[in-house]
Amino acid sequence: MKNIFIALCIVMQLFSQQTDKPKQPNLMERKYTIEKLQMSDVGPVRIVQLYADGFEKLTVKEKIFTYYLYQSAIAARDIAVDQRHRNALEIRELLEVVYQHQQGIDQTVLDKIILYTKLFWVNNSNYDNITSRKFVPMCSAEEFSAAVKTAVKNGGLVALNKGETLDRKLVRLNRSIFDSSSEPVQTNKTPGEDMIAGSANNNYEGTTVDEVEAWAKAGNEKYPLNSKVVKENLSGGKLIEKVYRTGNKHMGGSVPAGMYAEDLQAAVSYLEKAKAYAHNPRQAANLDKLIKFYRTGDLNDWREYNIGWVKETESQVDMIHGFIEVYLDARGAKGQFESVVNFANPELTQLFQQVGTNAQYFEDRMPWDAKYKKSDVKPLKYTVINVVVETGDAGPVSAIGINLPNEQDVREQYGSKSVTLFNIVDAYDKTGGKDILKEFAYDQQEVERADKFASLADNLHTALHEVLGHASGKVSPNLKTDPQAALPGYYSTLEEARADLVALYHIWDPKLVEIGLVPNTMDVVKAMYDKEVRNAGMVQLQRVPKGHDQLEEDHMKNRQTIIHWLLKNADCIERGQRGGKTFFRVTSYEKMRDGVAKLLSEIQRIKSESDLAGAKSLIDTYGFKIDTALRDEVLVRMEKLDRAVYTGFVMPKLEPVNDAKGTVTDVNISYPLDLGKQMLEYSQFTKEEKEKARKTLRGK
């Protein structure tokens, strides 16, 4: 589960207070913000270089291990792009051809195409990460077609279907690129509308939500996480699953290749190389489990890998790799491919691990019914990490905290891993200004409190959200289905709300003072509550462009649900006017905590009992529709501020050092400071790797 909202750099403040922080050379000379992008309803989006300090301190073995995981992460990135829309990869190819072969293209048109291309790269499609809405180029279809044809004349290569001309291809893709009314929403969770037929993503084809639910209820859905469900003429109108897997027939086995076999085989080839550099035999053996899953597609193999991944806690280098988060699927079933390769920050990990060590203490004090509390919580693993690369669903737009695995039974039996992405948070801190705080804070006292304590409060929010929030609670023993499957369209929003509320509830606990994470002051509590109200009540509305009156993204719906419920039911928040401007403020922190406890208890009950009617009532009432007049006011107030709706990261680049025999002997890290260069390198790499994989799968 992910928290994708920008947090100011938190851990760094606490770290500087309690440890000797290593010096970073030429830190002030670094360039973080590369450019800002904005186009009609998209943005502004900030493009930021990510730095991975500490990589050079890894052992050579750890560096090489990281390098092969890095290659594997990039090799399979196209799967996530295809999952976002069936035409996304073809559109990206056209854009990249123009980007690389610009000579002779009208500069005004070219500038518009380049802007669109960069936003496409950041969002892994032509659908906005936040609004889920399609965005279109500012040039005309005729101008775009002329630019593509000029690029082809300049030597650009465009793949064509059998018997298809470039003109026909451009006509075929025209509506997907230029018609904002055609498949306008990538993931449609609007109450009363068909979540599948109304969604543009590529998890389903030719079917409806009623058909899929009936088909799944009949026991036909064998690969709910890693497949695409299709109704096609060849199947006689029946639904079939197309599974993401390499198959093993090229190895003499009986499992046929599935969707994106070449991409997964390319990823597997680098996982195979990584095994020799794993921290211990246990980690190497677990990579074999992941490889087996990619070959068979069998979710039992995925479960075994996740169990082994949770148990492996010794390695400095780790990764997330697979079909993970289900936000893209309105049903909350299909996982989008992602990979995060990272290494740990030992000092900060030791500091924050204390939250996970005391997990049973916090579980015992949850405000919900005792029958939903765990009695055997194992110490939860918490790690502060530096990201080396994020691909697929994980990047270029990044989370700041992650808790995995998502599978409920694995979490309950074996625990989970929680991470804070330290260098992501650091980059946000280096590029985010304080002017938004000053504009939307109720008074100077709130500003001063945020200056002193918001960093600490934000990081503690992330830690409590990820470590305790997602790992807490249990389902009713009478429940026969996983809540994720039983609460389609609502589960992700509820789960993020539950985790946020856990953080808001436990920030009061004296145990945090006892273990040294919180100073003995209410100011940290107040800073956290102030920001929650300020952000969910007003600031996040900057992400909803004019013309839209509802929230699509689960984290945004979760936060609005919390604040609007408290506003109506807890007598703790005030919305008022001052100087012609709207402000939200907490009137009673104690009453707000009481309200948090009541709402958290209800959401846990809804999850534990899989109460779909309760979920619909709560989210549809408080989290779905926005106050458009308030949104318009927020946008006007934001115009003068240095804001970004979200950030796209340019990742560090790893390059091997080879000896005369071609053996990797070391790995260097560098920082491209160029989104276009990195994206083109990634595309070229995946193209070459897929061709190698194709030969392997054919037995050549």
Q: DSSP state, 444?
A: H
Q: pLDDT of 133-149, one tens digit each? A: 999 999 999 999 999 99
- How far is residue 502's CA from residue 42's CA, in Å, rounded to a whole number? 32
User: How confident is the prediction for the chain on average, in pLDDT?
Assistant: 92
- How far is residue 204's CA from residue 196's CA, in Å, rounded to a whole number? 7
Q: DSSP secondary structure string, 458-481?
A: HHHHHHIIIIIITT-----TT--S
Q: In the structure, what pLDDT confidence band is assigned to residue 26 with cuts at 50, 70 and 90?
A: low
Q: CA geometry: angle at 442 spanning 437 and 443, to 5°?
A: 90
Residue pair 41/128 in contact (Cβ under 8 Å)? The answer is yes
Residue pair 137/178 in contact (Cβ under 8 Å)? The answer is yes
Instruction: Evaluate if residue 96 carries a pLDDT over 80.
Output: yes
Instruction: Evaluate if residue 17 carries a pLDDT over 60.
Output: no
Q: pLDDT of 40-55, one tens digit each? A: 878 799 999 999 999 9
Instruction: Evaluate if residue 23 carries a pLDDT over 80.
Output: no
What's at 503, amino acid-wise? A
Predicted pLDDT of residue 232: 80
CA dihedral 522, 528, 623, 595 (to 10 degrees): -10
Listed range (74-83, 426-435, 555-564) with the worst mean pLDDT: 426-435
C-beta neighbour count of 445 within 10 angstroms: 11
Predicted pLDDT of residue 251: 94
Residues 6+ apart with CB under 8 A from 28: none
Residue pair 532/559 in contact (Cβ under 8 Å)? The answer is yes
Phi/psi of residue 47, each to 5°?
-100, 125
Predicted pLDDT of residue 690: 96
What's at 459, amino acid-wise? N
What's at 637, amino acid-wise? R
Helix (H, G, I), strand (E, B) or coil at 197: coil
Rounded alpha-carbon distances, angstroms, from residue 644 to 38, 539, 647: 9, 11, 7
Predicted pLDDT of residue 180: 95
Instruction: Evaluate if residue 253 carries a pLDDT over 70.
Output: yes
Residues comprising the chain, all counted: 700
Instruction: Evaluate if residue 59 carries a pLDDT over 90.
Output: yes
Q: Where are the domains of the chain?
A: 2-58+316-649, 86-182
Cα dihedral 445, 449, 454, 455 sign: positive
- The average pLDDT across 399-421 equals 89
Token digits for 460? 């503690």
Please name the residue that has the structure tokens 């502004």.
Answer: 44
Predicted pLDDT of residue 237: 83
Instruction: Evaluate if residue 6 carries a pLDDT over 70.
Output: no
Residue pair 277/258 in contact (Cβ under 8 Å)? The answer is no
- How far is residue 316's CA from residue 61's CA, in Å, rounded to a whole number? 11
Give the chain's largest Cα–Cα span. 75
Query: Of 378, 430, 440, 407, nearest to 641 (Cα)?
Result: 440
Instruction: Evaluate if residue 444 carries a pLDDT over 60.
Output: yes
Q: pLDDT of 168-210, one tens digit each? A: 999 999 999 999 999 999 999 998 999 999 999 999 999 999 9
Whole-angstrom Cα Rg for the chain = 25
Q: In the structure, what pLDDT confidence band is assigned to residue 118 with cuts at 50, 70 and 90?
A: very high
Predicted pLDDT of residue 106: 97
Q: In the structure, what pLDDT confidence band is assigned to residue 217 with cuts at 50, 70 and 90?
A: very high
Q: In the structure, what pLDDT confidence band is assigned to residue 629 with cuts at 50, 70 and 90?
A: very high
- The average pLDDT across 270-289 equals 97
Instruction: Evaluate if residue 272 carries a pLDDT over 60.
Output: yes
Helix (H, G, I), strand (E, B) or coil at 613: helix
Phi/psi of residue 271, each to 5°?
-65, -35
Rounded alpha-carbon distances, angstroms, from residue 498 to 381, 414, 464: 20, 21, 11
Say if residue 482 is exposed, middle or buried (CB neighbours under 10 Å; 0-12, 13-18, 19+).
Answer: middle
Helix (H, G, I), strand (E, B) or coil at 358: coil
Region class of 266: left (phi > 0), else alpha (psi between -120 and 50), else beta = alpha
Instruction: Evaluate if residue 20 carries a pLDDT over 80.
Output: no
Q: pLDDT of 534-566, one tens digit each? A: 999 999 999 898 888 999 899 999 999 999 999
Q: In the structure, what pLDDT confidence band is assigned to residue 477 with cuts at 50, 70 and 90?
A: confident
Instruction: Evaluate if residue 625 carries a pLDDT over 80.
Output: yes
- How far is residue 493's CA from residue 512's CA, in Å, rounded to a whole number? 27
Instruction: Evaluate if residue 298 carries a pLDDT over 90.
Output: yes
Residue pair 398/421 in contact (Cβ under 8 Å)? The answer is yes
Q: In the structure, what pLDDT confidence band is assigned to residue 13 with cuts at 50, 70 and 90?
A: very low
Cis bond before residue 545 (omega within 30° of 0)? no
Predicted pLDDT of residue 234: 62
Token digits for 627? 């106050």
- The average pLDDT across 407-414 equals 88
Q: DSSP state, 124?
A: T
Predicted pLDDT of residue 235: 60
- The average pLDDT across 628-650 equals 93
Distance of CA 666 to the CA centre of its chain: 31
Q: pLDDT of 571-587, one tens digit each? A: 999 999 988 999 999 99
